[in-house]
Amino acid sequence: MSEIEKLSKNLHQIIDKRLETSDLIEQVRNLLREFGGNTLWLREFIESKLFDNEFFLSQLNSIWPNEITLFRSPDNEFTILGYFWGPHFCDTIHDHGSWGVIAPFILPVGERKFKRLDDGKIDGNARLEEISYKTINPGETTYVLPLNDGIHQMENTTEKYLISLNIYGRSLRRGYVQFFDQDKRKVWHSFPPRTQKQLMIIQAMGNITESWTEKLLTDAAGKDLPDFIKEQCQLSLHQLNSQK
């Protein structure tokens, strides 16, 4: 059994207890602290997958280009991800759809946490306040909560590449995360590249004033599609109707 398989087995045992979120996160943090000094999983992953093209082709559609899916539980209760951080790479301020626990390997990673000050009622606008900055060293962990309770930003402050192991629970919101610009007080949905291309086609259909586009957009309401896809279909349909 590989180290990641052992980790996933232990995670299932914790999640199956159906703990309160705070207790669940603390137990997962303890598990990753124990795992934190163990780089055998990294050796196993690199030796078995580095030149396996099928593995990389099988990777799920992701917003982050430095993300690798190491394990996804069949029941969607959790996902184990690896992140490979380039020198001085700093990600965009963002939220999460689920709880998560993060453990750096090899080198420390920096984290800013933010509090949202507005009520979210003005579309595209958000006011954030930075509430903490911490350097998380190998052997230590940090965590996030879902949605507005988990807004943060991670960064590599070194000249070298670093690695983190991230565990995320069942998502409360699928398909996108929210990105934030603190200075401009802006917020927007960020989608994986393949999803973004699908949305761009739907957006373009709002300018194609033909019967077939109206039918496709109308029929989308009855299909098993993510809410954000249906919402964009409705917006494009409204745009079509406004041009009649």
Phi, psi for 18 (deg, rounded to 5): 55, 55
CA 223 to chain centre: 25
What is the chain's mean pLDDT, rounded?
A: 94
pTM of the predicted protein model:
0.90
Is residue 112 very low, low, confident or very high in pLDDT (cuts 50, 70, 90)? Answer: very high
DSSP-derived secondary structure for 209-242? -SHHHHHHHHHGGGS---HHHHHHHHHHHHHHHH
Q: What span, in angstroms and rounded, lies between the C-alpha atoms of 153 and 112?
A: 5
Of the candidates 144, 59, 136, the residue with the CA atom closest to the CA atom of residue 94? 144
Is residue 106 very low, low, confident or very high in pLDDT (cuts 50, 70, 90)? Answer: confident
- Segment 65-83, tens digit of pLDDT: 999 999 999 999 999 999 9
Please give the pLDDT value at position 243. 83
DSSP 3-state of 140: coil
At position 165, the amino acid (one-letter code) is L
Cβ atoms of 85 and 156 closer than 8 Å? yes
Q: What span, in angstroms and rounded, lies between the C-alpha atoms of 53 and 50?
A: 8
- Segment 19-28, tens digit of pLDDT: 999 999 999 9
The Cβ of residue 241 has, within 10 Å, a number of other Cβ atoms equal to 12
- Cα radius of gyration (the chain): 20
Please give the pLDDT value at position 184. 97
Burial of 58 per CB tally in 10 Å (0-12, 13-18, 19+): exposed
Q: Residue 244 above 80 pLDDT?
A: no
Q: Residue 105 above 80 pLDDT?
A: yes
Please give the pLDDT value at position 19. 95
Question: What domains can be seen in the chain, in order of their start residue?
Answer: 3-110+135-174 (2.60.120.10), 194-242 (no CATH)
Please give the pLDDT value at position 33. 87
Phi, psi for 219 (deg, rounded to 5): -65, -20
Helix locations, the chain, DSSP H: 3-15, 21-35, 40-49, 53-57, 193-205, 211-219, 227-242
Mean pLDDT along residues 226-242: 93
Phi, psi for 227 (deg, rounded to 5): -60, -40
Cβ atoms of 177 and 96 closer than 8 Å? yes
Please give the pLDDT value at position 36. 65
Q: Residue 29 above 70 pLDDT?
A: yes
Please give the pLDDT value at position 34. 82
